[in-house]
């Protein structure tokens, strides 16, 4: 209940939400790209004496692909649209430098091997300009939106296990996604105490006043049990005054890209997951079309590289070159997965499945390279064409491990709602699991994908996969 004359202040319009910040960031990158494009076209036109930029020059002399360079640059920087990376200057510099390096390597390939296809000076000017302008814009973005006056002011409801887990995640993020003013909890024993570095300011009875006094823009509800009627009324009243109400599980997913399975209630899989994981037929058809096209490309790459890889395997450890292994696919159906052999023969002589570990002693010399570069997984494109796997999805596991994990890890079977993939959200964010704790963490990434899968997320994963491969992050 509000005090007489007490009113909540509207949140300031410049305190942007995460999605709004990402949109501002992308618009700034696009403007930098268009300026760089204009500069490159001006130099190109000046050399050809088309300084006035008449229609003939722009339409007939400039190829269509040249106008797409700003969009290509944005695609190359997809990882920098993660707002935590975008807010960190060191990671921003590394990300832009990586994109510039890849672009420069491609430029050199065309420069020396296909010079007739490349307006060399204009492309070089574009690359230099876009790199410098993007760095300048990103520096300005960090200086502005990482400042306290531009951060959203958040009040956490609930200082129990869920609230503590969320605070731990927030404390590990730099720069912080928002400013936490404190905690509200109806447990009187927690009043005026500190939890994960934040003070418990009051109970639900004082929620409205605290929101007004602290100019709160968002309230995060981290209550796993039943919400008391007094708390419910106070939350509704704050929302009526323009304060955003956020649920802890959803915010947790947005912050770290995974689902907090250890904090979920037993009926969560029915109340939330099945509804949110529903995917329409159009998406499934489009995904299958992409799988077929990608599978054909992958098999083509396999045929090109196979003679060299096969000779290396034979010289290193002899036959066989391929091996098949039973894996569990969608809906628990087993299939034979095909891979290039990377381990010594009889690596599991006792018949017991084992986790792959860092620098696995069972791997051959060639096998270690194939696993690090993920080239051993090229034959799986045959499984994709068969329809047993997808380009994107959770990593396929052996039936014995699936049965074991189901007994140890909550909601593990939910990952079988979709086809396993050659690459996936967990693979690019985490990699291999070598313990139960790792498996739980990796499952949180897998379930995030299963819940939110769409063509854009699939495309994002596919574009980020080469970074994992060329970074030799495999085992």
Domain CATH for 208: 3.40.50.720
Residue 451 shares a structural domain with residue 306 = yes
Q: What pLDDT is attached to residue 266?
A: 54
- Between 224-228, 276-280, 393-397, 453-457, the lowest mean confidence (pLDDT) is in 276-280
Average pLDDT, integer, range 441-450? 92
218 falls within a domain: yes
Residue 134 shares a structural domain with residue 171: no
Q: Are residues 317 and 462 in the same domain?
A: yes
Quick one: 85 and 69 in the same domain?
yes
Contacting residues for 389 by C-beta, under 8 A, at least 6 apart: 329, 335, 337, 380, 383, 396, 419, 420, 421, 422
Q: Flag whether pLDDT at 370 surpasses 80.
A: yes
Which backbone phi and psi does 160 adopt, to 5 degrees?
-80, -155
More confident residue, 167 or 272: 167
Which of 56-70, 107-121, 438-452, 457-471 reaches the highest mean pLDDT? 438-452
Residue at 264 is within a domain = no
What is the model's pLDDT at position 3? 43
Please state, for a pLDDT cut of 90, what percent of the chain lies above it.
37
Specify whether 303 is located in the same domain as 243: no
- In this prediction, residues 349-353 reach a mean pLDDT of 59
Kindly report the pTM of this predicted structure: 0.79
* Burial zone of 376 (CB within 10 Å; 0-12 exposed, 13-18 middle, 19+ buried): buried
- Which of 138-147, 264-273, 362-371, 420-429 is predicted least confidently? 264-273
Q: What is the mean pLDDT of residues 113-121?
A: 75
Reported as a single tens digit per residue, the pLDDT across 297-335 is 999 999 999 999 899 988 888 888 898 889 999 989 999
Pick from 1-5, 94-98, 322-326, 467-471: least confident: 1-5
Strand intervals (E) in 105-210: 153-157, 179-184, 194-195, 198-202
Residue 329, CA distances (Å) to 118, 191, 335 in order: 45, 50, 7
| Degrees, nearest 5: CA angle 446-447-449 | 70
* Same domain, residue pair 47 and 186: no
Residue that is written with structure tokens 């307006």 in the block? 119
Q: Using the 3D structure, point to which of 123, 145, 167 is the last residue of a domain.
A: 145
Over range 28-56, report the average pLDDT.
79
User: Which of 112, 145, 178 is at the close of a domain?
Assistant: 145
What is the β-pairing status of strands 322-328 and 334-340? antiparallel
Sorting pLDDT into bands at 50, 70 and 90, what band is 250?
confident
* Average per-residue pLDDT for the chain: 84
Asked, for residue 475, whether it belongs to a domain, the answer is: no
Can you tell me the mean pLDDT for 7-13? 54
CA atoms within 13 A on the CB side of 370: 26
Q: Are residues 40 and 117 in the same domain?
A: yes
For 161, the token pair is 């296990």
Q: What pLDDT digit, counting tens, does each position of 122-165 carry?
A: 889 999 999 999 999 999 999 887 777 788 899 999 998 889 99
Q: Are residues 287 and 402 in the same domain?
A: yes
Q: What is the structure's pLDDT at 2?
A: 45
Query: Is residue 261 domain-resident?
Result: no
Same domain (yes/no): 158, 111:
no
Better-scored residue on pLDDT, 115 or 201: 201
pLDDT for the residue 69: 93
472: left (phi over 0), alpha (psi -120 to 50) or beta: left
Q: How many Å apart are CA 327 and CA 389, to the nearest integer? A: 10
- At 218, is the secondary structure helix, strand, or coil? strand
In sequence order, the 6+-apart residues with CB closer than 8 A to the CB of 143 are none
CA 180, 184, 187 angle in degrees (round to 5)?
145
Q: How far apart are CA 205 and CA 231, in angstroms?
A: 8
Q: Which tops the pLDDT comparison, 113 or 283?
A: 283
pLDDT of residue 37: 93
pLDDT at 120: 82
For the chain, how many structural domains are there in total? 3
Q: What is the predicted pLDDT for the residue at 5?
A: 40
Neighbours of 262 (CB within 10 A): 13
In a domain, 267, yes or no: no
Q: Is residue 266 part of a domain?
A: no
- What is the chain's Cα-based Rg? 26
- Does the residue 276 lie in any domain? no
Domain residue limits at 285: 281-345+356-470
What is the C-alpha separation between 338 and 326, in angstroms, rounded?
9
In a domain, 274, yes or no: no
Residues 48 and 167 in one domain: no
Q: Are residues 172 and 138 in the same domain?
A: no
Whole-angstrom distance, CA of residue 179 vs CA of residue 217? 10
Which residue did the predictor score with more confidence, 274 or 90? 90
Q: Are residues 167 and 137 in the same domain?
A: no
End-to-end CA distance of the chain: 58
């Amino acid at each position: 209940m509000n005090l007489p004359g007490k009113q909540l202040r509207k949140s300031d319009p410049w305190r942007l939400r995460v999605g709004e910040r990402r949109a501002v960031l992308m618009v700034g990158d696009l403007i930098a790209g268009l300026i760089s494009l204009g500069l490159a076209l001006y130099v190109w036109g000046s050399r050809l004496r088309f300084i006035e930029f008449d229609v003939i020059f722009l339409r007939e002399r400039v190829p269509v692909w040249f106008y797409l360079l700003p969009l290509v640059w944005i695609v190359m920087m997809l990882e920098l649209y993660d707002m935590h990376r975008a807010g960190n200057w060191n990671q921003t510099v590394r990300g832009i430098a990586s994109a510039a390096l890849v672009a420069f390597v491609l430029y050199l390939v065309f420069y020396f091997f296909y010079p007739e296809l490349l307006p060399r000076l204009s492309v070089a000017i574009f690359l230099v300009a876009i790199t410098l302008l993007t760095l300048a814009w990103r520096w300005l973005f960090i200086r502005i939106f990482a400042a306290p006056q531009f951060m959203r002011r958040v009040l956490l409801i609930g200082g129990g296990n869920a609230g503590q887990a969320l605070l731990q995640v927030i404390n590990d993020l730099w720069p912080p996604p928002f400013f936490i003013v404190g905690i509200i909890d109806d447990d009187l024993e927690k009043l005026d105490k500190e939890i994960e570095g934040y003070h418990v300011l009051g109970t639900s009875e004082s929620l409205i006043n605290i929101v007004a006094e602290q100019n709160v823009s968002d309230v995060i509800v981290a209550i796993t049990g039943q919400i008391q009627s007094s708390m419910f009324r106070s939350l509704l009243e704050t929302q009526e005054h323009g304060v955003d109400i956020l649920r802890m599980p959803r915010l947790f997913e947005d912050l770290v890209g995974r689902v907090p399975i250890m904090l979920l209630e037993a009926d969560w899989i029915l109340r939330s997951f099945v509804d949110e994981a529903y995917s329409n037929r159009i998406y499934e058809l489009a995904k299958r079309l992409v799988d077929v096209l990608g599978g054909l490309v992958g098999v083509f790459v396999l045929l090109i590289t196979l003679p060299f890889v096969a000779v290396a395997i034979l010289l290193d450890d002899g036959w066989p070159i391929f091996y098949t292994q039973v894996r569990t696919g969608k809906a628990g159906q087993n299939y034979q997965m095909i891979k290039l052999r990377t381990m010594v023969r009889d690596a599991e002589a006792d018949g017991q499945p084992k986790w792959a570990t860092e620098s696995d002693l069972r791997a051959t010399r060639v096998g270690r390279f194939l696993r690090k570069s993920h080239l051993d997984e090229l034959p799986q494109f045959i499984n994709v064409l068969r329809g047993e796997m997808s380009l994107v999805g959770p990593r396929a596991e052996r039936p014995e491990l699936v049965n074991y994990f189901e007994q140890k890890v909550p909601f593990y079977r939910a990952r079988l709602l979709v086809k396993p993939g050659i690459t996936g959200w967990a693979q690019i964010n985490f990699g291999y699991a070598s313990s139960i704790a790792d498996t739980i963490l990796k499952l949180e990434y897998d379930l995030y994908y299963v819940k939110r899968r769409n063509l854009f997320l699939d495309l994002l994963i596919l574009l980020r996969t080469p970074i994992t491969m060329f970074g030799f992050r495999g085992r």
